[in-house]
Amino acid sequence: MTALEMDRAAEVMGLLNEIVDPCSNAAGVPLGLRDMGIVQRVDVDGGDVRVHVLPTFPGCRFVPIFELEIETRVASLEWVEHVTVAIAPATDVWDESRMTQTARLKLLEKRVRTTPS
Domain boundaries, the chain: 3-103
Q: How far apart are CA 39 and CA 86, in angstroms?
A: 10
Contact status, residue 9 vs residue 16, Cβ threshold 8 Å: no
Q: pLDDT digit string (tens) for 68-102? A: 999 999 999 999 999 999 999 988 999 999 999 99
Q: pLDDT digit string (tens) for 1-43? A: 799 999 999 999 999 999 999 989 998 999 999 999 999 999 9
Q: What is the pTM of this model?
A: 0.90
Please report the DSSP string for 2-14 in residue order. -HHHHHHHHHHHH
Contact status, residue 45 vs residue 22, Cβ threshold 8 Å: no
Domain 3-103 class?
A: alpha beta
